[in-house]
Amino acid sequence: MAAPTIAVPPGLLRIGGTGYEPDEMISILFARPNTDYNLLSPGGGARPEPVVVYTGPDGSYTFDIDVSADLATGEYGIMTWAPERERERIGAGEESKRFLTVIVTN
């Protein structure tokens, strides 16, 4: 199944999700396709760590991404997942992954 796609100009992109456990840790990666370089992580490095948010009491979260005017026009991707689920059941963290294709327009 193909990931949903959204086209956005530079500015604020708010993402969110529901259906998680209350206070569940969600990791967020925003990158060029087929890379692990997270544009959200400060400091750089070969494999920057994902940004982490926690869901509220209702199992939902929102997160704001600043789509910088400095980003090159083109395709990017957002991946979210709940990595702590793997501790409960092998493969559960992998199954929690959700994807969004983002086309940045300038």
Which CATH number belongs to the domain containing residue 99 in this structure?
2.60.40.1930
The two tokens of residue 19 are: 């259906």
- pLDDT per residue over 2-18, tens digit each? 789 999 999 999 999 99
Q: How many domains does the chain have?
A: 1
The whole-number pLDDT of residue 34 equals: 87
Structural domain for 100, as ranges: 5-104
The yes-or-no verdict on residue 92 having pLDDT over 60 is yes
What is the length of the chain?
106
What does the buried/exposed string (b/e) look like for 60-94 if buried means 16 or more CB atoms within 10 Å of the residue's CB? ebebebebeeebeeeebbbbbbbbebeeeeeeebe
Give the global pTM: 0.85
Give the residue carrying structure tokens 């969004």: 100
The conformation of residue 103, written as its DSSP 8-state character, comes to E
